[in-house]
Homo-oligomer: A and B are copies of this chain.
Amino acid sequence: MSAGDEVVVALDVGGTGMKCALVRPDGTTVHTERHATDAQRGPDAVVDTILEVADGLAGKARAAGRTPVACGIAVPGVVDETRGVAVWSANVGFRDVPLRELATTRLGLPAALGHDVRVGGLAEARLGAGRDAGHVLFVAIGTGIAAAHVVGGSAATGAHGAAGEIGHILVRPGGPRCGCGRDGCLEAVASASAIGRRFTELAGAPATAAEVADRAAAGEQLAGDVWRAAVEALADGLATGQALFDVATVVLGGGLAQAGPLLFDPLREALRERLTFHREPRLVAAALGDEAGCLGAALLALDTLAKESR
């Protein structure tokens, strides 16, 4: 059997849905499917679904004459990659779930467990918008804001699986209360939800961040003010990231990055204003869309295989 027949079973588990794929070692996808997470059923039921879907994918691979060689699973929250444990997750309800071991046992395959944003960053750094840079910061901006610092193709995990929480750095002392309980976190000012919420508060009418961006572009002053305030907070956050990480490329993903030049043009300028002796990183949009999580989970599983065979 040739290496071209080998595939990795990859799952990216989110609060509402699971993106699933069979991924070749070269990063191409040969099959995708989606399933509901139905997190309200509780973590045990979610784990059962994960294992069933993964096992089903391995079966489909074999039925198509392919060889599943590993399984990679990405989940949100605090994830201990080293022990393969989903330590904590607000939106899926995991508390110390040994998902790697459960997957290995169920599938009879080597498995890897990763953090959704960190594996997304891994994929963008190796296959996507950061693929020519050795030092990449991937920042996903949606309901929340989180980051992955990828150096030499490997994402920093931290001592407890909680590295990269750029959404929870202080940018506006005394600012809006964050979901984490602190005031003035970047996420509380500049996430897509925070932008929509702020505009809604001030305008008295609901709007999403995308609508705020469009209205700002159309010259509406209130929308412009809200958008600018978010861009400036983001620039403060990215400048802090650059001071600490000194990357070559910052890749922005998540829903807010869809705003394109409405986000990137003013953000690039605001970031430039804030950098003094530091080198300005390239600021680019993510290239892999919502496939990044699956691809990254597959890459992590392949890395684990490579390490084991050394």
Contacts and interface: CB of A to CB of B under 8 A. Distances in A.
Interface of A: 78, 88, 133-135, 147, 149, 151, 156-166, 168-173, 180-182, 236, 239-241, 243-248, 274, 276-279, 281
Contact of A165 (B133, B168, B278): B278
Contact of A163 (B172, B182, B244): B244
A173 B236 CA distance: 9
A168 B236 CA distance: 11
B244 A147 contact: yes
A274 B165 CA distance: 14
A279 B169 contact: no
B246 A276 contact: no
Given A170-B236, A236-B170, A277 B88 contact: yes
Contacts of A182: 274, 276
Query: Looking at A78, A88, A161, A182, which has the most chain B CB atoms within 10 Å of its CB?
Result: A182
A281 B162 CA distance: 12
A162 B280 CA distance: 11
A161 to B, nearest CB: 7
Nearest to A172: B173
Nearest to A233: B173
A158 B240 contact: no
A161 B248 CA distance: 11
A163 B156 CA distance: 14
Contacts of A158: 135, 245-247
11 contacts: A78-B277, A149-B244, A157-B246, A159-B246, A159-B248, A160-B279, A162-B278, A162-B279, A163-B245, A163-B246, A169-B240
Contacts of A180: 276-277
A36 to B, nearest CB: 26
A272 to B, nearest CB: 12
Contacts of A147: 244
A160 B246 contact: yes
Closest 7 CB pairs of A and B: A158-B246, A135-B159, A159-B248, A180-B276, A163-B246, A169-B240, A165-B243
A165 B247 CA distance: 12
A175 to B, nearest CB: 10
Contacts of A277: 78, 88, 162, 168, 180
Contact of A244 (B133, B151, B165, B248): B165
Given A135-B159, A160-B246, 7 more contacts: A163-B246, A165-B246, A166-B243, A168-B276, A170-B239, A170-B274, A181-B276
A241 B133 CA distance: 23
A87 to B, nearest CB: 10
A115 to B, nearest CB: 11
Nearest to A274: B182
